[in-house]
Amino acid sequence: MSEFDTLVGLVSQYSPSGQERGAVEMLVAQMKALGYDDAFVDEAGNAVGVMGKGMKQVVLLGHIDTVAGEIKVEQVGNLLYGRGSVDAKGPLASFVDAVAKVGAKDGWQFVVIGAVEEERDSEGARFVAERYKPDFAIVGEPNQWDRIALGYKGSAWANVTVKRGQAHTASGEETAAEAAVEVWLKIKAYVDLFNEDKQKIFDKLLLTLRGMDSDSNDFEQWARLKVGVRLPVEVSPEDWYEILNETLRVSETLRVLIEPVGFAIPAWGC
């Protein structure tokens, strides 16, 4: 067995969110072949491997799904190309092989989890969070190879919709689409001011505009922005949504609706 079998085998299994089963079954089979005491697919569809029976527990969790889009799997020198080789099958394969190499230790139990759906709503991780209470937990995500990260930026998504009554094109009045551009610039101005004295990326608000669309009917016109932000520890998701509400109070002519989307996650430092 090659020292890279786990990594290459896992990367060779195309597994975008919702289509992880082949990769999960491959990883379970690999953990069994490496001598794990138990390896199985749990109720959420995660790949789980257990080594040891001790009372102290270490959970090593990585995600087995990827974003969509196949990349040819090939090795060029000491570089491996393929979807997920970095995010995050590389860390997950490292966990699997490391636990196999360490083996069972008196008083300890190692649980390796290849979680599904991380690139969407993290259903796999949410499932295991209620089932394990480890003494130590390590999450595998892209980082420099020679260090462990001690923090994670939070995230929050929102649809920001600007609505106004229909107006004739000859009126010269601001359209909903034009107002949406102004709304975006207000959000960006707030973020730029917040970040002005911050030296580290970890301490900054990282703002993205991930989509926009607009439409109208006989009586109303609207424009919607899909706004995402990565959060520092000092700004909770609740704080961020309040910032949006405070920043985007506009004229009576326009209505601005802020709709949180998906699961907001606070930042973490330790």
Cite the active site residues.
65, 118
CB atoms within 10 A of CB 49: 25
CA distance 42 to 117: 14
- List of residues 6+ apart from 254 with CB closer than 8 A: 162, 163, 164, 174, 176, 179
Residue closest to 164 by CA, chosen among 179, 152, 150: 179
CA distance 16 to 118: 10
Q: Phi, psi at residue 213, to the nearest 5°?
A: -150, 165
